[in-house]
Amino acid sequence: MDNKVLVTGGAGFLGAHLCEALLKKGRHVICLDNFLTGSKCNIKHLIGFSNFTILEHDIVEPLQLEVNQIYNLACPASPVHYQTDPIKTLKTNVIGTMNMLELCRENHAEILQASTSEVYGNPLINPQVETYHGNVNCIGIRSCYDEGKRAAETLLFDYYRQHKIQIKVMRIFNTYGPKMNVNDGRVVSNFIVQALKGNDITIYGDGLQTRSFCYVDDLIKGMMALMDSSPHITGPINIGNPGEFTIKELAEIILDMTGSKSKIVYKPLPVDDPIQRRPDISKAKIELGWEPSIDLQTGLEKTIEYFKQII
């Protein structure tokens, strides 16, 4: 059983990159996915590895398996996907996370929970630091994800206190890169696809709301650094790029980089869409020795090239 790692949501955008990175480290990887939003195309190049296993399963259902570590990434992460079936999203975050924690108990394993910057809601402070408790609407259309992830964090710390489970909680800020779903509705993929197709670039609101964008390779390094850190480092810990850009700036950068003639059009801002989003990563720097190294221009070049190949 030594070195056996379970990655739930392993065929998703982040999960597929994580599986690849773990295999390069010589780990035995079990990629678990129900393929609701994950894609077999993301992991098909890994099938030849002798220490790579694909398991089609939904974490809402209990699971019996021998593992040493669990990276719990299973959950639709874009509003388009998690709002399609909000009750299922909430079940995945709560029941699914509890099932993974029970699996940890049975195996005396450790677990890393992929939480999110969405736990901060529409923040009243900027940048967001881990001690900030957030400003979340518990009955809004985003609540299935926001509150689901908050409940998942609660479960991890209760299992940590009550059952001495070894836990790690990371709060992921906007991440982009190859393997993103063309239709996931996230701002980077939306803008790139629209620009490459010559369609209008759709900005919701006035475009002055801000986001910070972390390239996927940096994010995965941060995730693995947290899992491999000292047992007393439980998190929560922000992992993201503190560079802050308005949505309008992002659209203009992508238009320039693609040479697109697309026009920017404005539509109403969705309910509870955050106005500011920027991580304070001081904790990650101090406790993990981690900070991102790939700037937005470099990351977008790689991401645009990926979308050119698949469109």
Q: Which residues are catalytic?
A: 145
Check residue 117 and report its DSSP letter.
Answer: G
- Ramachandran angles phi, psi of 120, nearest 5°: -85, -10
CA distance 97 to 305: 35
Diameter of the chain measured on Cα atoms = 58
Structure tokens at 276: 């500011």
Spatial contact of 154 and 17, defined as CB atoms under 8 Å apart: no
**Dist CA 212 CA 200 (whole Å):** 23
- A 10 A CB-CB count for 23 gives 18
* CA–CA–CA angle 180, 184, 189 (5° rounding): 55
* Crossing angle (nearest 10°) for helices 247-258 and 296-310: 60
Task: Confirm if 71 and 222 have CB atoms less than 8 A apart.
Answer: no
Chain center to CA of 35: 16
Chain-centre distance for alpha carbon 299 = 16
CB atoms within 10 A of CB 133: 9
Per the document, the length of the chain is: 311
